Amino acid sequence: MAAQYQTLEVDDHETGAEPLEFKSFLGTDTGAAPARAISPSGGPSDPSRGYVRSDNTNAPFCTTKSTSTWTPKTVLYRCYSTMIPREDFVSVVLESRPDMYGPFWTLTTVIFSLFVFSSLSASITAWLNAKEWDYDFKQLTVAVGLVYTYGIGIPVGLWAWLRYIGVQEWSVLDAVSIWGYGMTVWIPVSLICIAPFPLVRWISGGIGAGLSLFFLLRNTYPILASAEAKAVRLFVVLIAALHLGVSLSFIIIFFNH
């Protein structure tokens, strides 16, 4: 049976119908710049160079230049500046960038120096007097408590009190840096006090107390003077008395053999 075929006629253009055409949904601006590959950092890539280019939109966070304020050289310079104070410590020496590493390192070294050098001094004195001697580790506990309390607790307390009365010129790191770095002089003083001569110990201790007190008052009095209440300036007397008391304790507890 022969296949039956039927011819269908299709109108090429129906009345009212639009011809089929492809439309772009990516935008009709034919003059737009060609798309560029985007790097993971948000910047366009540079295929001609074979690497991804960054527009440095995150430059403040991705800089490779070191901004640390506690490099060994910087810390040593700040320590040295406290023993010969000729400039404002916070604004000139610290460059308004106080740190916690330097004060903590300085206070810890003072503790080590007081214990080790006082032990060595006591052993020399005992040997010269033909007496037996042994380490007194209670002195290490005393050194830790005394130095950390005075070097960290006192400045934090002073800062909190000044904030309470409305003095805003100081930050807590400024206060801790002044007290912490200000104890540097007790490292060489402890070394000198190894000498088995009481007069040398008292003279070196007095010089250390005087230098550190001068540095302390030089940097704290302007802050106290900025308070509206003039009576706040008298607080400098309490600071001086407390500092001299701690200095005297260093000599009596650790080097009075």
25 in a structural domain: no
17 in a structural domain: no
171 in a structural domain: yes
The pLDDT, as a whole number, for residue 229 is 85
Distance CA 232, CA 234 (A): 5
28 in a structural domain: no
pTM confidence score: 0.71
Contact 162, 223 (CB under 8 A): yes
Contact 195, 120 (CB under 8 A): no
Residue 182 neighbours by CB under 8 Å, 6+ apart = 82, 212, 215, 216, 219
Residue numbers of the domain that contains 157: 72-255
Local structure of 16: helix, strand or coil: coil
46 in a structural domain: no
Contact 18, 29 (CB under 8 A): no
40 in a structural domain: no
3-class SS letters over 117-177: HHHHHHHHHHHHCCCCCCCCCHHHHHHHHHHHHHHHHHHHHHHHHHHHCCCCCCCHHHHHH
89 in a structural domain: yes
21 in a structural domain: no
Domain count, the chain: 1
Q: What is the pLDDT along the chain (257 residues), one digit of tens a residue?
A: 445 555 555 555 445 555 555 455 455 444 444 444 444 444 444 444 443 444 444 433 333 333 445 688 989 999 999 998 888 898 899 888 888 999 999 999 999 999 999 999 999 989 988 888 888 899 999 999 999 999 999 999 999 999 998 888 889 999 999 999 999 999 999 999 999 999 999 999 999 999 999 999 999 999 999 888 888 889 999 999 999 999 999 999 999 87
